[in-house]
A and B are shown apart, each in its own frame.
Chain A
Amino acid sequence: MKTSPLIESVTDRFPDAVLASHTYRGDATVVLGRKSLLKVAQFLKEDPAFEMNFLMDLTAVDYSAFGKRATPAFFASSGVAVKPSPQIPDEDPWPGPPAESRFAVVYHFFSTAHKHRLRLVVPVEEGDAEVDSLIPLWPGANWLEREVWDMFGINFTGHPDLKRILMYQEFEGHPLRKDYPVNRRQPLIGPVN
């Protein structure tokens, strides 16, 4: 498996924090333990070799249904490829979900100075779905963390105003969790439809 200088540098600096790493088609990913997130993120932002001054995206994945259901043929029939063409050699196949944990919080960083990217993946357990907020380092994380909390119910420790951002306040549950019933409706007015 190919690696990247960014991954090696992070792994050398935080050997205990890095659980795994891979590069998938040139995108470097580091899987981190939850407790060391803030420390590593601060290093990524302030170290002159990284200078990750742009938090491009912050999202989460619910792996609880991953691999348990057959892929629906919807996309295949629509002409959108569901797996890569065999003519493209896949030297670094995706290694799969990062851990046994149900959730993973995903951070995408970019450095406008060095023009390089790094993805951090933090596995989060279902019973203790909580990670540190990155607002002290990147203020733009505010709304992104609210969105992840709204959709997945993952808490961000230290967030100043963790409330719903997409759904309305009366909404119950977190709709992008795989155990949210796909046909559950919570209209504010009108009949349930």
Chain B
Amino acid sequence: MPGNDMQNEQPSYFTSRLDKAIGWARKYSIFQYPFVTACCGMEYMATACSHYDVDRFGAGLPRFSPRQADVLFVVGTISHKMAPVLKRIHDQMAEPNWVVAFGVCTCTGGFYDNYATVMGIDTIMPVDVYIPGCPPRPEMVLDGLMKLQDKIQDQHTTGNRPAPEARPDIL
């Protein structure tokens, strides 16, 4: 590739443009892994189907193996019994990967505050985009998906991965 001139240690526009092109390609070819556990799954299906057509954003091919996916959609309530499974799925995904918390149960535990429910999946893994709602409207999901695309593009433009949003200290 011409322009990758490391001897002068000068950033060349070819390299940055290449990264940007990779980011552009990557954000429009999101391979999602839907980890669907509860009622939000119906809304996820509504979003994925032709009426809202998540394929417009290049995210139309869900992969059912974490090793083939690069965005983990956690859709639905996560119980303490399920948490190790979810963590393991996340660990199996190749870098770079992103995590979307779909629905208020995955964001904060939602209206569950009991012995069984994880109070937000950000207690066990980093989360890039939170989509609240019970369940979220497909418009909100698409908005979250576009925010995720912006994050993916930023990561390749600046070279820095945007930090996951910090979990507020509630205890």
In the complex, identify which listed stretch (B3-11, B63-71, B114-122, B129-137) lies at the interface while the others stay far away.
B114-122
B-contact bits for A121-151, CB 8 A (1 contact / 0 none)? 0000000000000000000000000000000
B87: which A residues are within 8 A, CB to CB? 189
Whole-angstrom distance between the alpha carbons of A190 and B81 in the complex?
12
A180, closest chain B residue (CB): B115
Whether B115 pairs with A193 at a CB distance below 8 angstroms is no
A168: which B residues are within 8 A, CB to CB? 80-81
List residues 143-171 of chain B with CB under 8 A from any CB of chain A: 171
Known: A167-B81, A168-B80, A189-B84. A175 touches B116 (CB 8 A): yes
Q: Does A70 contact B (CB under 8 A)?
A: no
Q: Does B124 contact A (CB under 8 A)?
A: yes
Q: Which of B83, B113, B114, B171 contacts A187 (CB 8 A)?
A: B83
Classify chain A's interface size. 10 to 19
Whether A193 pairs with B118 at a CB distance below 8 angstroms is yes
Whole-angstrom distance between the alpha carbons of A186 and B79 in the complex?
11
A185: which B residues are within 8 A, CB to CB? 80, 115
Chain A nearest CB, measured from B44 CB (Å): 24
Q: Does B123 contact A (CB under 8 A)?
A: yes
Q: Which of A184, A188, A190, A191 contacts B115 (CB 8 A)?
A: A184
Chain A nearest CB, measured from B155 CB (Å): 26
Whole-angstrom distance between the alpha carbons of A187 and B81 in the complex?
8
Summed over the interface, the residue pairs from A and B with CB atoms below 8 Å come to a total of 38
Chain A nearest CB, measured from B114 CB (Å): 7
B-contact bits for A170-189, CB 8 A (1 contact / 0 none)? 00000100001011111111
B123: which A residues are within 8 A, CB to CB? 187, 190-191, 193
17 additional A-B pairs beyond A188-B81, A190-B118, A193-B118, beta carbons within 8 Å, are A168-B80, A168-B81, A175-B114, A175-B115, A182-B114, A183-B113, A185-B115, A186-B80, A187-B123, A188-B80, A188-B83, A189-B84, A189-B87, A189-B124, A191-B123, A193-B109, A193-B123
Pull 23 A–B residue pairs with CB atoms less than 8 Å apart, ordered by A. A167-B81, A168-B81, A175-B114, A175-B116, A180-B115, A182-B114, A184-B115, A185-B80, A185-B115, A186-B115, A187-B80, A187-B83, A187-B123, A188-B84, A189-B84, A190-B83, A190-B118, A190-B123, A191-B123, A193-B109, A193-B119, A193-B120, A193-B171
| Interface set of B (CB-CB < 8 Å, partner A) | 80-81, 83-84, 87, 109, 113-116, 118-120, 123-124, 171
